[in-house]
Chains A and B, each alone.
Chain A
Amino acid sequence: MTQPVSPPRDTAGKIPPVGRLTPWRALPARADVRTLSLLGVLAALVVIGGITKPDEFLDTRNLQLVLTQASVIGVVTVGMTFVITSGGIDLSVGAIVALASVWATTVATQEYGFAGILFTAMLVGLGCGLVNGLLIAYGGMVPFIATLAMLASARGLALQITDGRTQIVSIDSVLKLGERDSYVLGIPPLVLVFALVTIAGWLALNRTTFGRRSVAVGGNAEAARLAGIDVRRQRLYLYLLSGLCCGIAAFLLIVLSGSGQNTNGNLYELDAIAAAIIGGTLLSGGRGTITGSVLGVLIFTTITNIFALNNLQSDVQQIAKGAIIVAAVLVQRRTASTN
């Protein structure tokens, strides 16, 4: 904000050259180093997993398991990455997942079968995102407060709908999607959805004006406005996108767990923010990386997997998770500054 007319920065914080960008040359070396360091962490984890539990860890089923478990939070993280890149935050993602998953599994919704569940989940996600977006973009509310309010109300509404009960899904086509028979060439459908969302997110952020505008708004909103970007509309779209991702994630969770419960999506907001941050997205906005976020999610899921396979308890898991967030951010700072 101190330099009101500095041009928007690109994904690595450099000033983009004027004129048409050549896609591959536009990727700066610094982002590569960051991605490589994350890949290095992931590779180290794979080695640790392979050494401690060779039979259980290095196994197709385990790969399927890790990717499946990364899918739900992964989709949420893609949406979160956009929001953080634009300088915002969405604390309501977990609550939206909970609300969407219970709304989509009520007896009334289940009467409409597969499509009913899918569309309800997405519509509820979009609806919550719309409210967030309107409050923030046009109501002038701080994202932290607006989404915190959404967190509270969405959780409350989810509890009101379920009365604390577990809503079991009885639609076979939905349940089947989460089972082994539906794997496509060994790939679980949930993982396919995650992959599609990731690719779409990467293209949107790196190859479209929508993505460039998101980065510009996060880098310097005033400059973006002066450059002719409708900042408010852009913000509305971003929270809508995050809401939609939550809706998709809620559907995946329904498929995975065969149920809807108001406790679903517990602390997703923190997991998604943590994954985006260790991935290299700037919490202050102006820089975002979908690749990094997805690697962040995979790192966390792989750690959980290795710990569980080695029968380590949740206290140790939580300590390690905290330590890894700190370590990853510190390593990135060093690589970023020495580069």
Chain B
Amino acid sequence: MSHTTSRRGLLFGTAAVSAGALLTACTSNDTKDDKTAANNQPAADDKPGKHVTIGFAGPQADHGWLNAINDNAKNRAKKYSDVSLEVTEGSNDTAQQIGQIETLINKKVDVLVVLPADGKALTQVGLKAMRAGIPVINLDRIFNSAQAYRCYIGGDNYGMGLNAGRYIGEKLKDKPNARVVELAGLDNLELTKQRTQGFDDALKNYPNIQKVARQAAEFTVESGQAKMAQLLQAQSKFDALWNHDDDQGVGALRAIQQAGRDDFLMVGGAGALSAFQAIKQDDGVLKATVLYPPTMAASAIDLARALGQAKGVGGLAEFEIPASITLYSAVVDKTNVDQYMSTGFR
């Protein structure tokens, strides 16, 4: 496995450094010549333009959020009469996903949107696509090399933690010796570490708040229930809880209900429909959730279409779409939940 990768690395690495970037830059500029002034022709424009075939490759949708990613991409593509979408069977197997993307390259799609099962492991195939003149929109899990994509769009895990910490901090800032508990996601993922780091950094601004406990669940309802039950037993009194993920939050809320506790405020993460509904009803501990919006997949389709039609992004002065977009992790609470309700995933 590593042997093949390194051989590929040798093959593509040098090629990509010299020619790859230049080549792709050229191809994307070539088609651009006939259309100018992105200012006047924004991508957000719904008017049909040049037909674009977009190849979409994502991981297996075994989690509510990933399922929402697929739905967002498909529905967005359906909206445009000038876009046809080629979706691969989702896979968590790196080798399989590489094969699927290579198939899309051979089919000569105009633009690729790739949410890698593992960003680092799929860098090479990203490079290959770019080398073949197919611009790549890298969705959420970033490739190792900026040469492997034309545009990156993804969520902000650190910012998610930061905003959760800020929201809780502001709610508790007048409370002396406030105690906070964290129910993290899968601990062997880098994104979990980033979320926790952001959360801790935000809480540092509030010297009256102390994080007294942290346990990691596994993004599943079952683990959320189990870990939350333990946390509740370990901490007989605390003021706020941040749960990284609304899917495991279903289990966490069940444990809270089973323990008969309602003496703290809870903030969720990701933006599931069930969380939005609970926030709107406002009859439980869940008061807010920090977004990690699956709508990024819809935006990726917009970007891919803009790229295929050589347009820029509406509302920005640039002729080109950006090289990198990091989404904002907005806090959704009772005041703005209606606005986000339609984006909630099941």
Q: Taking beta carbons and an 8 Å cutoff, which residues of A are in contact with B?
A: 53, 55-56, 59, 61-62, 65, 68-69, 159, 163-166, 168, 178-180, 253, 256-259, 261-266, 304-305, 308-311, 313-315
Interface of B is mostly: helix
A168-B250, A257-B222, A305-B230 are known contacts. Are A163 and B215 too (CB-CB below 8 A)?
Answer: no
Is B220's CB under 8 angstroms from A304's CB?
A: no
Bound complex: CA of A264 vs CA of B248, how far in Å? 11
Report whether B231 and A261 are in contact in the complex, using a CB–CB cutoff of 8 Å: no
Across the interface, do A61 and B233 meet the contact criterion of CB distance under 8 Å?
yes
Q: Which of B44-52, B59-67, B159-167, B281-289 contacts A (4 or more CB under 8 A)?
A: B59-67
**B260 neighbours in A (Cβ, 8 Å):** 180
Checking B60, B214, B219, B223 against A313 with a beta-carbon cut-off of 8 angstroms, the contacting residue is B214
Mask for B330-346, Cβ within 8 A of A = 1, else 0?
00000000000000001
Residue from A61, A65, A166, A314 having most chain B Cβ neighbours under 10 A: A166
A313 CA to B217 CA in the complex, in Å? Answer: 10
Number of interface residues of B (CB under 8 A): 39
Q: Which residues of chain B in 53-101 are interfacial with respect to chain A, using CB atoms and an 8 Å cutoff? A: 60-64, 66-67
Residues of A within 8 A of B257 (CB): 179
Q: How far is the CB of B36 from chain A (nearest CB, A)?
A: 43
Task: Report the minimal beta-carbon distance from A58 to chain B, rounded to whole angstroms.
Answer: 12
Q: How many inter-chain contacts with C-beta < 8 Å in the A-B complex?
A: 107
**B window 195-219: CB within 8 A of A:** 212-216, 218-219
Determine whether the beta carbon of B229 is less than 8 Å from that of A311: no
- B-chain residues with CB within 8 Å of residue A53 when the two chains form the complex: 234
Min C-beta distance of A190 to chain B, whole Å: 11
Chain B residues with CB under 8 Å of chain A are: 60-64, 66-67, 187, 212-216, 218-227, 229-231, 233-234, 236, 247, 250-251, 254, 257-260, 274, 346
Expressed in whole angstroms, the Cα–Cα distance for A43 and B48 within the complex equals: 73
Which of A59, A258, A263, A309 contacts B220, CB < 8 Å? Answer: A263
26 contacts between A and B (CB under 8 A): A56-B233, A56-B236, A61-B259, A65-B229, A65-B233, A163-B67, A164-B64, A164-B66, A164-B67, A166-B250, A166-B346, A256-B222, A256-B225, A257-B221, A257-B254, A258-B254, A259-B250, A261-B222, A263-B218, A263-B222, A264-B221, A265-B222, A266-B222, A311-B214, A311-B215, A314-B216
With A179-B258, A264-B222, A311-B215: A164-B187 Cβ-Cβ less than 8 Å: no
Q: Which of B63, B187, B221, B234 contacts A314 (CB 8 A)?
A: B187
Return chain B residues, CB-CB under 8 Å to A315: 187
Does B61 lie within 8 Å of A69, measured CB to CB? no
CB pair A259–B221 under 8 Å, yes or no, is: yes
A163 to B66 CA separation, bound complex (whole angstroms): 10
* Contact of A308 with B221 in the complex, beta carbons under 8 Å: no
Contact A159 B234 (CB under 8 A): no
User: Nearest CB to that of B253 among chain A residues?
Assistant: A258
Which residues of B lie under 8 Å from residue A56 when comparing CB positions? 233-234, 236
Known: A264-B221, A266-B223. 17 other contacts (CB 8 A): A65-B233, A159-B60, A164-B62, A165-B346, A178-B258, A180-B260, A253-B222, A256-B225, A258-B250, A259-B254, A263-B222, A266-B220, A305-B233, A311-B212, A314-B187, A314-B215, A315-B187
Docked complex Cα distance between A97 and B196 (Å): 32
Question: What residue in chain A is nearest B230 (Cβ atoms)?
Answer: A308
Which residues of chain A are near B221, meaning CB under 8 Å?
166, 257-259, 261, 263-264
Residues on the B chain within 8 Å of A265, using CB: 222
